[in-house]
Structure 1
């Protein structure tokens, strides 16, 4: 590890002394645009799969928590942690160590992808989540292809995290936009078939995701291996060190637990919803897909928060780091809150994009009317998670996510099993869990002292 402090690159210098809001917006804008591309993919996949019928839609809905878990662990967990440690090293003027951290993070991503391939490719897991018959068959078909290509998803997200750590938000965003553009063409072709290309059904949507992620990962790898890159992946000989792996894992493991807890909440909610039938699961899958769209929006701003907070703490500027956190969190709260209010007032505008079944529409509309009002607190919690990640302080984000899981698990059990409540009562519990998560983390962040120097990386 180098001990010579070098002058920071231009992007790092802006994060250290540029005006907070303009700098944050400058960094976040390409992220939001790029991750809006992910939003398009989420909605587009639902639209395409919805044309295959209720069983296909419900089958993908069952897999969706695991798919989003992989996405969030790779992008927000390891990818975000990589952004934090790389940015902190560059903020301290140590570019050689930043390069070592980036290389080790990529290897950790490949190892983590193997775990998803082994655990999530089979059908037993989805049967345990409540899928039966045709729904289970569709879920199994989709999962087998998606998780067989897990390495592509992990690689592209870790490489994007490295780019963000150097302040090159535009390059990471360009990779996401390119992935989306390819997927919009390839997905319907593989799902429905055309000419010599056979129709693969739901497996085609997964195959398109894996293929497009592979192409984008290779593009980012080439860009990050340029001779003038702030962090160069392919170049001088790699020197693997257990201490460097530990430094990343010290932040990445608790970071990865947060999406586990968040998606655990969704998986538990899905299991509870399944007691009302497959159409209820399909409705919940469509409605909850809007929550997954909020995640990329929060991530677009949140990844800029991670980089700015980490860079400023690396340069020993804790007061500025805290100010950055609150400015970004307020921005995310406002955007996601407005989306939630819109969903609560006009739920049919979202639901009708994916289904025409009157039962599915009715149940989905009810869900959004009840839960949409809590989306701002969901966004607030996500933004403060990314800020806490940059600060290397993840205890309270884990407490907040655990509280959400407990509210859904225990509250859902009480209203359904003990009180014999309706779907509406379950939806109210879900809304309450989002409120608890956001308020808990906001309170903890307000009370924390980032000047103490306690950091995970």
Structure 2
């Protein structure tokens, strides 16, 4: 009787990595960045760069959609920069006292009225300047600028006198304590007294936007914020030859930066 024995056959497992991995492993990492090289994203980046640089463009002809994008990008960034003034002031004066931070907040709440008037005036200036430029009458755009400047100064003078004289009453009306008013009313006085720089900044930037150079207006706000960021600690804490003005120094720095 023959006895059959079972021979063990070695089992070999073979994995073909080509089924799972690309021939070039690094392509998995290059693929997301490769998408950035698509024509659509290239075109978008080019438009964004052109909007930031403020390259000369004739908006009286060509694609309306392209013109809207080129003008809106620097406008959005410009308004973001406008909101940074109060944030920078609040951050620096937070190192002085709690009342100083409260003063910045209360004053900015009322200064919003100045912003509202300035924004309304700048909208009208932008529309009028854009119309005259589109008509090919730059001299008429200059007349609009002069008239808007005088109107802005007149409005700023009325607001400035009222705000400077009644600064303590404004803070009291907004709920400020007597200690806060006694220590920090100088900030409110200067912010109202120099509101003319706010009005003129909005008007002049509106002229640039109306003329199709919105990027220039944006860069002006960036420069203004940079100056404010540098001058705030100098005037607040009296660094070097600068006087130590406390929270009032923040108002001085902001006014100089906007000017």
TM-score normalized with structure 2 length: 0.71
Summarize the alignment of residues 229-268 of structure 1 with structure 2, pairs less than 5 Å apart. none
**2:247, 2:58 → 1: CA distance?**
42
Q: How far did 1:202 drift?
A: 1.1
Q: How far did 1:145 drift?
A: 1.4
The answer to whether residue 103 in structure 2 is matched with residue 56 in structure 1 is: no
The answer to whether residue 237 in structure 2 is matched with residue 188 in structure 1 is: no
The answer to whether residue 28 in structure 2 is matched with residue 28 in structure 1 is: no
Contact 2:233 2:239 in 1 (8 A): no
Contact 1:89 1:95 in 2 (8 A): yes
**1:24, 1:10 → 2: CA distance?**
12
Contact 1:56 1:202 in 2 (8 A): yes
**2:241, 2:142 → 1: CA distance?**
45
SS in 1 for 2:87: helix
- The 1:111–1:43 alpha-carbon spacing in structure 2 relative to 1, beyond 3 Å, is same
- The 1:99–1:12 alpha-carbon spacing in structure 2 relative to 1, beyond 3 Å, is farther
Partner of 1:105: 148
- Name segments (4+ residues, structure 1) moved above 4 Å: none
Partner of 1:142: 187
The structure that has the greater radius of gyration is 2
Q: How far did 1:111 drift?
A: 0.7
- Unaligned runs of 5+ residues in structure 2 are 1-55
TM-score normalized with structure 1 length: 0.42
- The 1:157–1:130 alpha-carbon spacing in structure 2 relative to 1, beyond 3 Å, is same
- The 1:28–1:138 alpha-carbon spacing in structure 2 relative to 1, beyond 3 Å, is farther
Q: Decide which moves more: 90-99 or 126-135.
A: 90-99
SS in 1 for 2:60: helix
Contact 2:153 2:196 in 1 (8 A): yes
- The Cα offsets for residues 319-365 of structure 1, whole Å up to 9 and x where unpaired, read as xxxxxxxxxxxxxxxxxxxxxxxxxxxxxxxxxxxxxxxxxxxxxxx
Q: How far did 1:10 drift?
A: 4.4
Contact 2:100 2:180 in 1 (8 A): yes
- The 1:10–1:195 alpha-carbon spacing in structure 2 relative to 1, beyond 3 Å, is closer
- Unaligned runs of 5+ residues in structure 1 are 1-8, 215-457
**2:161, 2:85 → 1: CA distance?**
25
Q: How far did 1:139 drift?
A: 4.6
